[in-house]
Amino acid sequence: MEQERQQEIRGLFQMLEQTAKIAEDAVLTENYKDSESRCISQFNKVLQRLDEMNVVPKDLFDPLQEYADFSEISIACNHLAAYLSEGSGTSSDLKGMMTNILGKKFIDDVSEDLKEGKIGVLIRKSMPQFLTEATLDDIKESFNVGEAGQLTVATELGNIDIQTSQSDTIGVTVRRSAQLKVDKHAVDILKDFDISFDHQDKNLHIDAKFKGSKRYWEKIASRFEVHFEIRVPQRYDVNMQTENGDISVANVEGKVSAKTISGELQFENITGPVIGYTSKGSVKLIGCKSDVYLRTTQGNIEVNEHIGTLDTMTSNGNLLQTNVLGHISGQTANGNIRLSRCKGGAEVETTDGNIELETEGTVTAKTAKGAIDAKISGQFQEDSVLDATGGSISVSLIPEIDVKIDAKSSDGKITTEFPVTMVVQGSLKIGQLHGDINDSGPLLTLRCVGGDIKMIKQNRMSVSTPMP
């Protein structure tokens, strides 16, 4: 019976080795694409059988979750295999297996400890080492440029952080590290990340990319940490582009352009035009003074304490703007829009979401699926429109406003706290209101499908004061 037991344990051990190898190969190749669930099931069945045989202590090893990736699968298989090797005397090329994980140099350094009975202990003690980072030496450079120049950064990978200093120099620090996890190859690949500097008079161009034409690094890009920390003169233009990483800029007095394919954007205290693009990430802008143009295909756009025109668009996210002094243009395909304590008018639209407005000036707001709640604290200078489908419209106006009303609601009613002067010829139509408030003025068009329209007289004592 004991011989059969040991034979079954060896069979389970070999299954762990095979599953680990599949996971390790899949990290850098696509040979086993979408096979995580099979590997997870294999590991969990082996663990369950070992528990039934009382080979491993109860609750020492946890089953893999259904969302585990190949890195986690490989580590779990190798860890359990090492325990079996230590506890049952199972033999295999475990040294070779661990060489693939930890690297030959590490294994050579601890070769005295790599006796079959000590491997499990070694792995458990070493787990934090190959789950954490391997760090390369920082790159540090300094360039004398003066003011009124331009910094250009173009990198295939990495976060970019721009700060300012009172000097006439640009200081650059590049920090690089790699998550080892399953194997040592991430560090070797990161060493091929080449960074070049082109300094000409007041301008500096930084170019960073992997050597060679093949983009093999993209499969394990999540394992790399590259961070560009750059200080520029305060009066300086910056133009940045990264394919994978976040971009942040603060305290610059100059033009700012930032583009990332996958990452977040943050701008703070910028005096100069700002242009920001990201395909996958949110955008935040705080305390800036100039015209701003922001785009993201997936993420929220949040603006606070801004002076200047604001043009924002997201395909999938919310627009949140507070204390903006300047005209606002905003659009989202799937999200809510909220403007608080703004002054300068707005033109906003969402295809699926609610709109909340607190602004002063001319307004155009449209939602194809949602409600509109507008508080307009000022006199219109031009015609305004509120258009909602699938929700109601509530508009709060100052008592002394002069405006012409054209309101229509399908499947809803219209109520008003304002006296409306109407010229009626023939019969009144249900769900429609046409007339003047006070001395007439620009046209306010209200259109609602599937909801009510309410016109509320604003309490002047409660009107929020926009940012000066």
pLDDT at 397 over 70: yes
Is it the case that residue 92 has pLDDT exceeding 90? Answer: no
Six-digit token string for 9: 């344990």
Does residue 220 have a pLDDT over 80?
no
Q: What is the pLDDT of residue 427?
A: 67
Looking at residue 109, what is its pLDDT?
A: 53
> Residue 368 has what DSSP assignment?
S
Most confident of 109-123, 359-373, 446-460: 359-373
Which residue has 């608080």 as its token pair?
Answer: 340
pLDDT for residue 55: 86
Total number of domains constituting the chain = 2
pLDDT at 390 over 80: yes
Q: Which of 201, 104, 64 is nearest to 145 (CA)?
A: 201
Q: Output the average pLDDT for the chain.
A: 85
- 65 or 358: which leads in pLDDT: 358
Q: Is the pTM of this model over 0.75?
A: no
Distance CA 65, CA 44 (A): 9
Residue 154 within any structural domain of the chain: no
Contacts of 151 (CB under 8 A, 6+ apart): 162, 170, 203, 204, 206, 230, 232, 236, 237, 238, 239, 240
Residue 214 has pLDDT above 80, yes or no: no
Which helix H or strand E contains 87, and what residues bound it?
A: helix 70-88
The boundaries of the domain holding residue 88 are: 2-130
Domain final residue, candidates 85, 113, 130: 130
Q: Which of 130, 148, 179 is the last residue of a domain?
A: 130
- Decide if 51 is inside a domain: yes
Angle at 248 between CA 246 and CA 249, to 5 degrees: 155
Length in residues, the chain: 468
Residue 177, both tokens: 């590290």
From residue 206, alpha-carbon distances to 163, 218, 227, 321 in Å are 16, 21, 13, 34
Q: Which pLDDT score, from 0 to 100, does residue 181 have?
A: 53
Share of the chain above pLDDT 90, in %: 59
Residue 284 in domain: no
For residue 117, how many C-alpha atoms fall within 13 Å in the half-sphere facing its CB?
Answer: 0
Residue 412 lies in a domain: yes
- Report how many helices (DSSP H) and strands (DSSP E) the chain contains, helices first: 7, 30
Q: End-to-end alpha-carbon separation of the chain, Å? A: 87
Q: Is residue 161 part of a domain?
A: no
Confidence of residue 277 (pLDDT cuts 50, 70, 90): very high
Q: Does the residue 79 lie in any domain?
A: yes
171 has pLDDT over 60 = yes
Residue 158 in any domain: the answer is no
Angstrom distance (rounded) from CA 216 to CA 213: 9
Q: What mean pLDDT comes out for the span 157-166?
A: 96
pLDDT of residue 32: 62
**Per-residue pLDDT band at 69 (split at 50, 70, 90):** confident
Alpha helices in 283-377 (DSSP H): none
**Residue 128, pLDDT score:** 44
Bridge partners, residue 193, by sequence = 210
Reported as a single tens digit per residue, the pLDDT across 423-445 is 766 666 788 999 999 988 999 99
Residue type at 207 in one-letter notation: D
Residue 7 forms part of a structural domain: yes
Domain boundary among the residues 130, 149, 184 is at 130
Structure tokens at 132: 């954490």
**Cα–Cα distance list, 358 to 188, 193, 294, 373, 417 (Å):** 55, 49, 21, 9, 19
In order of 268, 269, 287, 292, 326, the CA distances from 307 in angstroms are 12, 11, 8, 9, 6
The pLDDT value recorded for residue 426 is 65
Helix or strand or coil: residue 285?
strand
Run of H or E residues at 19? helix 2-28
